[in-house]
Structure 1
Amino acid sequence: MAKELEVGHAGRTVLKQVDVSLRAGAITVLVGPNGCGKSTLLRTVAGLLPPIGGEVQIDGRPLNSLSRRSLSQELAFLPQASLVPAGVTVRELVRHGRYAHRGAFARHTDEDLSSIEWALEVTDAGPLADRRLDELSGGERQRAWLATVLAQRAGVLLLDEPTTYLDLRHQFEVLDVVRKLAREHDIACGVVLHDLMQAAAYADEVVVVSDGSVTASGTPEEILTPDTIERAFGLRVDVVRDPESGYLACFPQRSAPAAAS
């Protein structure tokens, strides 16, 4: 999807020579230290920032060859934080996801209505449809925003830190929805996460961003190793596998206690 990509902003290059592909039905998680360029990379792939060099393609077509409306039909992007419109219900918000297909003032078609109901159902936001967005919990609100971008019916979904500001239960609820979208609806999902254990649990592929480039990519088992994590984050860790779930977990290594004098 991204070939020899060079990204940055305000005249400053952040990442160089980036090659990243998103597969239908799979979750690709971007991890790396704060400020390494994960969000900048995701926004460039989404077409919100122009690349400094290289190219982004969707189904073999250069991103810059697509109109904004055509791009919105192919790719959906959910930023880290979205403003909460006052008094808007969840169903009204999700309707905005169909603007890419019908324009701002056209009447909703049967296909639009079907897509709206599908998006509400697949994100488990149906029971929230008639509630105001500003009355919801953080996890419920995030499901509503997910439903909004899903209503675009795009084959690629990009999520920039979708679990930020959520408590633990709501973090896993949102990631469960993302996994459902990939597994059951064949959507290619690209997600920025900070939590390495969440990346281990949900990713099909982990992409490590550090030191101005992609430094490693592969399955969680291949990538989430003590050496790779130390190179990227400057932290010595132990990586263990839970014998029941099979999930990987990372724990900082403790320094040996000082000897008694």
Structure 2
Amino acid sequence: MKSALAPFLLALVCLATNARAQYPGAPSYPGATGSYGAPPAGAGLYGSPSYGNTGGYTAMSPSLPAPQMGSPYAGPTMMDPSAPPPPGTYNFQQPSTQNSWGGIQQSMAGSNMLHYRYLEAGYRYVDPQGGELDGSHGLGVTLSIDLPTIFFLKGTINWSSGTGKKNVRGATEADYDLAVITVGGGAYMAVTPKLHFVGEIGLVYANLSSSGSNISYSDAGIYVRPSLRYQLVDWLELQAGVTVSSADDYDSKVVDFGAYFRVFPQVDMNLGMDLGDETRTIRAGARMRW
């Protein structure tokens, strides 16, 4: 009898000792490798094969799906700029194409030629009206500086030199110099991204000095110039304007036309004509934008 019960009692003691060593006071998990039989942190509810789980159970750790287009967690995109930013991130705002005054922001990159920060220089042929002076050849320089919002400053210096008819004694020709300086500013309104209405106002000073005749003057006044700038295609800009001034001897009204041809990303060649009541001018040059 005792010999029959000994193996049975020994088996019960071994079973109890093994269960206590595996997880005292709680059921164990198949394949668990933690200190008390519990799965390690991050292994999910039933462990993970990467942590020694060999019982065939799949981890169930919570995870968020990848954000989808239009999801409230995706934030603003080019396809959905009104979407809110992801929680816990900085607010993001798409760049605006308009400034606070409603004008289109100037961009140095891309195809837009309608800038107000540029330097222009070129050749000028000036033909005074009246027949007493011949045409003159010279140079012209224009500098425009843009200001915040829709405003800009602009200044020009034009100079030309030519000859005229001989004086009453017939001794010498009437060599002359014509210099014109304008200083002013203005504002523009973007009717469309490719069409701007521009208004300028400022001061004009003109001086004609002749060495062989009595045709000389110095004149100053206020000028106003409304104009249009239109970018017809990616590489061509057209301009047209009317300048009205209070000058008496110099041009009191000038109608001007111009065309600018892009040759480099920030450099344009131009051709133009000014039709005034005292002079006619043909001009050609280059403009650099930055």
Normalising TM by the smaller chain, what interval?
under 0.3
More strand by share: 2
More helix by share: 1
- Structure of higher CA gyration radius: 2
Question: Structure 2 length normalisation: TM-score?
Answer: 0.19
Question: Structure 1 length normalisation: TM-score?
Answer: 0.20
Tell me which of the two structures has the higher relative contact order, counting C-alpha pairs closer than 8 angstroms and 6 or more residues apart.
1
